[in-house]
Amino acid sequence: LNELREATMSSKYHKTNEIDRSERATTENVMDPRTRMILYKLVNSGMLREVNGCVSTGKEANVYYAVRGDGSDAAVKVYKTSILVFKDREQYVAGEFRFQRYCKSNPRKMVRTWAEKEARNLGRLANVGIRAPRVVILRQHVLVMEFIGVDGWPAPRLKEVKFPSTTSMDRCYLELCVTVRIMFQSCKLVHGDLSEYNLLFHEGHLVVIDVSQSVEHEHPQAIAFLRRDIVNVNAFFRGRGHQHLFTLQDLYSFIT
């Protein structure tokens, strides 16, 4: 905590000519002062007890394991303030009436929008009973959510799951098909980046994660994204030797 305080309070970060450096820090996997300050405040307020190791360092975000004030686990997803990474995400936001204030020229506003989008979409999933991390709190580009895993160990991604039988694989495939359908029918959302990397397997069930790029089913590209999602899903299960895949056409009709 003292380190955290010193780092965030240190006067050099308050000089305007240092802002570039602090912005850059996030892209280099070093936590930038802004992020540290947000986490510091969350700890100070008792919302979080501690923020521990990194669960995942990705292109767009880092995910940390944390302990909440009440002792329960949390995952803290910190979006990176890098313009380059988010450039190819424009297609998801263009045509989204929910994100008209998306600001391409301000990377900090931009990542805040992504975090906000993810929090809202997670909320929509939870509202209809789809397994997804519950949102704990959103602070700018820092999203605190329910930790999916055991004792600080994140649940395996679908990619890492070894199915004990063809029946269990079949059940998982069916569960995924139904989940995508409910997401479409009840949440009016298309995941947009559905794959064996963005599904966790926890307590015998799939948990949907990484929904910051998910779009309304009325988004001009929604159908294209949905088709890609379905192709990914079938390709994964085909690779695992699944014998009874639905055709893409049947799956598409079922979902829509």
161 binds, among Mn ion, ligand ATP, none (CB under 5 to 8 A by kind): none
Give the list of residues 6+ apart from residue 62 with CB closer than 8 angstroms, or none: 29, 54, 56, 77, 78, 80
Nearer to ligand ATP, 75 or 222 (CB): 75
Residue whose Cβ sits closest to ligand ATP: 58
Asked whether the beta carbons of 138 and 119 are under 8 A apart, the reply is yes
Q: Is 33 in the site for ligand ATP (CB under 6 A)?
A: no
Nearer to Mn ion, 32 or 118 (CB): 118
For ligand ATP, what does the binding mask look like between residues 114 and 133, x meaning CB under 6 A?
A: -------------------x
> At CB < 8 A and 24+ separation, what contacts does 193-198 make?
193/229, 194/229, 194/232, 194/233, 195/232, 195/233, 195/236, 196/157, 196/158, 196/159, 196/232, 196/236, 197/157, 197/158, 197/159, 198/157
Q: Is 198 in the site for ligand ATP (CB under 6 A)?
A: yes
Active site residue 229: no
Q: In terms of C-beta density within 10 A (0-12 exposed, 13-18 middle, 19 or more buried), how is residue 237 classed?
A: buried
Asked whether the beta carbons of 200 and 157 are under 8 A apart, the reply is yes
For ligand ATP, what does the binding mask look like between residues 133 and 172, x meaning CB under 6 A?
A: x-----------xxxxx----x--x---------------
For ligand ATP, what does the binding mask look like between residues 39 and 58, x meaning CB under 6 A?
A: ----------------xx-x
Q: Is 60 in the site for ligand ATP (CB under 6 A)?
A: yes
CA angle 158–162–168, rounded 5-degree value: 85
Binding-residue total with ligand ATP (CB under 6 A): 21
Active site residue 210: yes
- Per CB under 6 A, residues contacting ligand ATP are 55-56, 58-61, 63, 75, 77, 133, 145-149, 154, 157, 197-198, 209-210
